[in-house]
């Protein structure tokens, strides 16, 4: 401990603690929840001037971590987390969705998933950045009157990813061990990959949507967390898979046990399909990315699993997959207020404006066609998962790009080349959102520039337990991939 510095522990000691370890210290009364909250606030001061990942720290929570009533009997009581500035809200706290259209908006009620976080004992301590409406994986915004670019703790010239970029930057910089994420095209898995973290996207319908939404309205999105350890993700999923009765249009089958208990044992021998193919997009993935994923495949084979190459042309009808996904993606603007007014078009970022304008070309027949395409894609992936227990792919087809670069919503160019570029990069993540399958991104080492690369496992519907088991097995086999520290972190930043 380092109480002489005014903090509960040294930064070196702090940076080694995951959420379960911090919560254990609080339970044993070796540290208080208030001391932990104060240390997080100090960590933000040390790192955020470089990372631009935090919109606000809740001063009342720093003074009193019980302000929002986290469950004191929750397994993770006292562990702070940042809320993502998009999606589920906490009553009395802002949710601005990275947009001028919602600047100053305050949640009037607490959404079910936030209630789940509170039941786990987690302490929402602030709000982390997200790009406007989460419509890219580059977390750059301008709605606050100046350009705010969230940067990667591994290299400040590169993006932390998105749309959960602020959350990922804070976890990678070891300010907090866990933070809120959500994923409509890879927005949990992508920042996890870019920042060397664990990011699980759940089966459609497994995690509750906000009170005013359902999977029928937005079928592609699922909330979750980014963490540094597999066990933290497992522990949190024991709580966030609780859905209010009637609160899901597509209520997924629930795992009857504890995810945290499940990862205490290795998975059985698995059939793993390996793919670094095109997935219906032009070109190939970055060679370094493909090579790291093949290293993971060799590791899996060495652990006793059966790994075989998959012909990705047989996974699903890719033309239907991409047509249906594009229609859903472009028409997402309906959930943010319906048909935009001229004033709204003027208020949003250039590339969100392009999406809104493009949405006008779709009619009700396109929407029905999109639903039929989704049906075909989900059935195609379902048939594939009858042949394999898991699919192993890259998380992204690219390595970590520059911040406020080619994927930024602040660019001003025609929509088609911008969206094609985004989909080419996200060719492996977006199909998980369209099909509804669960998938987890795990660290797979560093590239030649010293930046993280993620590998991704797809599981069958409602098999998050198996995904977490194999991720934990991989973490035990390759701890150096999971426990690498970014150059910008609380222990290194003075």
Catalytic (active-site) positions: 84, 163, 187
List phi, psi (to 5°) of 61. -75, -35
In the numeric block, which tokens belong to residue 190? Answer: 């992508």
N-to-C CA span, the chain: 19
Q: How far apart are CA 381 and CA 458, in angstroms?
A: 10
Task: Give the three-state DSSP class for 301.
Answer: helix
Q: How far apart are CA 128 and CA 111, in angstroms?
A: 17
Beta-carbon count within 10 A of 17 CB: 20
- Please check whether residue 326 is in contact with residue 280, taking contact to mean a CB–CB distance below 8 angstroms: no
CA neighbours closer than 13 Å in the CB half-sphere of residue 137: 34
| Sheet strands side by side (includes 80-84) | 54-57, 123-128, 80-84
Q: Dihedral of the CA atoms 418, 321, 218, 430 (nearest 10)?
A: -60
In the numeric block, which tokens belong to residue 152? Answer: 């990667």
Q: How far apart are CA 70 and CA 67, in angstroms?
A: 8
Q: How far apart are CA 432 and CA 382, in angstroms?
A: 11
Bridging pattern class, strands 151-152 and 452-459: unpaired
- Please check whether residue 192 is in contact with residue 441, taking contact to mean a CB–CB distance below 8 angstroms: yes
Sign of the torsion angle spanned by Cα atoms 332, 219, 239, 153: negative
Distance of CA 394 to the CA centre of its chain: 15
CA neighbor of 19 nearest in space, from 159, 136, 170: 170
The dihedral region occupied by 488, where left means phi > 0, alpha psi between -120 and 50, and beta the remainder, is beta
DSSP string, 24-88: HHHHTTSS-HHHHHHHHHHHHHHHHHHH--EEEE-HHHHH-TTTT---TTSTTTT-EEEEESSSS
CA neighbor of 174 nearest in space, from 153, 150, 151, 194: 153
- Please check whether residue 58 is in contact with residue 125, taking contact to mean a CB–CB distance below 8 angstroms: yes
The dihedral region occupied by 286, where left means phi > 0, alpha psi between -120 and 50, and beta the remainder, is beta
Q: How far apart are CA 250 and CA 389, in angstroms?
A: 23
Q: How far apart are CA 140 and CA 89, in angstroms?
A: 21
């Amino acid at each position: 401990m380092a109480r002489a510095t005014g903090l509960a522990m040294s930064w070196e000691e702090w940076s080694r603690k995951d959420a379960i370890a911090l919560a254990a210290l609080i339970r044993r009364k070796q540290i208080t929840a208030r001391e932990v909250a104060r240390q997080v606030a100090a960590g933000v001061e040390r790192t955020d001037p470089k990372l631009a990942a935090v919109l606000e720290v809740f001063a009342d929570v720093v003074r009193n971590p019980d302000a929002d009533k986290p469950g004191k009997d929750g397994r993770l009581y006292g562990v702070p987390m940042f809320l993502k500035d998009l999606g589920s809200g906490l009553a009395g706290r802002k949710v601005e969705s990275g947009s001028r259209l919602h600047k100053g908006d305050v949640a009037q009620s607490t959404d079910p998933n936030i209630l789940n976080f509170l039941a786990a004992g987690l302490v929402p301590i602030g709000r982390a950045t997200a790009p406007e409406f989460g419509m890219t994986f580059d977390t750059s915004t301008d709605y606050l009157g100046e350009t705010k670019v969230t940067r990667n703790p591994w290299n400040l010239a590169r993006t932390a990813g998105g749309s959960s970029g602020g959350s990922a930057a804070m976890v990678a910089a070891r300010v907090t061990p866990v933070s809120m994420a959500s994923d409509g095209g890879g927005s949990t898995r992508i920042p996890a990959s870019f920042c060397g973290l664990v990011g699980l996207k759940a089966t459609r319908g497994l995690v509750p949507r906000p009170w005013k939404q359902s999977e029928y309205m937005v079928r592609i999105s699922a909330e979750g967390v980014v963490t540094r350890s597999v066990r933290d993700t497992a522990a949190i999923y024991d709580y966030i898979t609780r859905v209010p009765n009637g609160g899901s249009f597509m209520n997924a089958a629930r795992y009857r046990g504890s995810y945290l208990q499940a990862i205490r044992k290795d998975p059985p021998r698995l059939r793993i399909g390996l793919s670094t193919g095109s997935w219906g997009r032009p070109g190939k993935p970055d060679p370094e990315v493909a090579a790291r994923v093949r290293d993971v495949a060799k590791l899996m084979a060495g652990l006793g699993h059966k790994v075989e190459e998959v012909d990705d042309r047989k996974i699903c009808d890719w033309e239907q997959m991409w047509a249906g996904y594009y229609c859903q993606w472009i028409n997402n603007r309906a959930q943010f207020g319906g048909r935009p007014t001229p004033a709204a078009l003027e208020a949003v970022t250039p590339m969100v404006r392009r999406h809104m304008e493009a949405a006008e070309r779709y009619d009700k027949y396109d929407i029905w066609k999109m639903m039929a395409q989704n049906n075909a894609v989900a059935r195609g992936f379902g048939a594939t998962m009858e042949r394999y227990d898991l699919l192993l792919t890259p998380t992204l087809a690219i390595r970590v790009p520059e911040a406020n670069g080619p994927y930024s919503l602040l660019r001003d160019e025609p929509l088609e080349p911008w969206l094609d570029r985004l989909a080419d990069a996200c060719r492996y993540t977006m199909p998980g959102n369209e099909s509804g399958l669960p998938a987890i991104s795990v660290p797979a080492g560093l590239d030649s520039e010293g930046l993280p690369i993620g590998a991704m496992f797809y599981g069958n519907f409602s098999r998050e337990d198996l995904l977490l088991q194999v991720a934990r097995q991989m973490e035990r086999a390759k701890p150096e991939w999971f426990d690498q520290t970014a150059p910008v972190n609380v222990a290194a930043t003075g």
